């Protein structure tokens, strides 16, 4: 089970990094989303294998670790905020430079 999760995290990292280096800025921004999903899955895998009984439940058995789940929730919310700022910036930039091409978003020089 751990192998499958590790493979999934690795594949998501690879897809995210590949997308991040695309020429089209929108695809590149989606690469950021996929990368943050990969990291959230990594954080999930930290506490996922200790037990399957929820912390609040009355049942007996090994309790699962609730802290990484709190970390993931915080990370998801924060990356949502960051991604909305990134999308707003992309909206302004693509409208201003009339292009989707990251090679042309390069007017800032010395």
Partner 1 sequence: MLISHLVILPFVIPLAGTAIGVLLHKHWRAQAAWSLGVLLTSMAATIAVFWSVHTTGQPLIFQMGGWTAPFGISIAADALSSLMALMVQVVMVFGLIYAIGAKDAAVRYPMFMPLFLALVTGLTGGMLTGDIFNLFVMVELMVITAAALTAISDDRYGPEAALKYVYISVLASIFLLIAIGCLYIGYGTLNMADLAQRVQANPDQPTLWLGIVFLFATFMVKSAAFPFHFWQPDFHTVAPTPVSAMLSSVVVKLGVYGFMRMTTLLFVGQADTIHTLLLIIGVAGVAYGGFGALGTHNAKRMLAYSTLAQLGFILVAIGWGTPLALAAAILFTINHSLIKSALLMLAGYVASRAPIKSASFEVVQGVGRHAPWAGVLFFVGGMALAGLPPTNGFISKLALFRSGAAAGGESTWISLAIIGVLSLLSLIYVMRAFMRIWWQPRTSENKVKATGDSLLAPTCLIGLCLILGIFAEPLLQVTTTAAQWAYAPALYIQAVLVK
Minimum distance from CB of 24 to partner 1 (Å)?
A: 14
* Cα–Cα distance, 50 to 48 (Å, whole number): 6
43 burial type by CB count under 10 A (0-12 exposed, 13-18 middle, 19+ buried): buried
* Cα–Cα distance, 4 to 14 (Å, whole number): 15
The interface mask with partner 1, positions 42-81, x = CB under 8 A, is: xx--x--------------------xx--x--xx--xx-x
* Binding test (CB under 8 A) with partner 1, winner from 2, 58, 103, 107: 107
Distance of CA 63 to the CA centre of its chain: 27
- Interface residue list for partner 1 (CB under 8 A): 20, 28, 32, 35-36, 39, 42-43, 46, 67-68, 71, 74-75, 78-79, 81-82, 85-86, 88-90, 92-93, 96, 105-108, 110
């Amino acid at each position: 089970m751990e192998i499958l999760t590790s493979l999934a995290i690795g594949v998501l990292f690879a897809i995210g990094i590949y997308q991040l280096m695309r020429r089209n800025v929108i695809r590149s921004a989606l690469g950021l989303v996929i990368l943050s999903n990969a990291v959230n899955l990594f954080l999930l895998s930290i506490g996922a294998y200790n037990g399957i009984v929820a912390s609040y439940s009355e049942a007996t058995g090994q309790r699962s670790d609730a802290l990484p789940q709190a970390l993931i929730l915080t990370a998801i919310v924060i990356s949502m905020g960051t991604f909305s700022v990134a999308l707003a910036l992309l909206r302004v930039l693509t409208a201003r430079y009339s292009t989707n091409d990251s090679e042309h978003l390069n007017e800032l020089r010395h």
